[in-house]
Amino acid sequence: MYLGKIVELAPSAKIFARQYHPYTRGLLSSVLYPDPSEKLKPFILKGEIPTAINPPDRCPLIGRCPYVKEKCFLTFPNFEEIEEDHFVACYRSRELYND
């Protein structure tokens, strides 16, 4: 959830195995894993966090997302089932996982 919007929904094992939303990827990139030999590629979200007081009806991650495109400024993406029981609200979710 980011600024009151659910951006990715799946069983926790699926979320830990594969993140399709940039915010989820950024969150899990900041978590220390119990196995120090497991090195994860850092994914850092830069930029200003928008206000949560009156969020717009578009993607709230626009100012921090490296994958932003014009469509993100127009509407909040609908949930898409990217794989069984794994839903994501991001126009570029398939590209993110392949990054």
Lowest-confidence segment of 2-16, 33-47, 74-88 by average pLDDT: 33-47
The b/e string for 24-35 (b: 16+ C-beta within 10 A; e otherwise) is: bbbbeeeeeeee
Q: Structural domain boundaries of the chain?
A: 8-98
Q: What pTM, to 2 d.p., does this model score?
A: 0.82
Tens digits of per-residue pLDDT, 22-78? 999 888 888 777 677 776 677 888 887 777 787 778 888 888 888 888 999 998 899
CA distance 24 to 8: 7
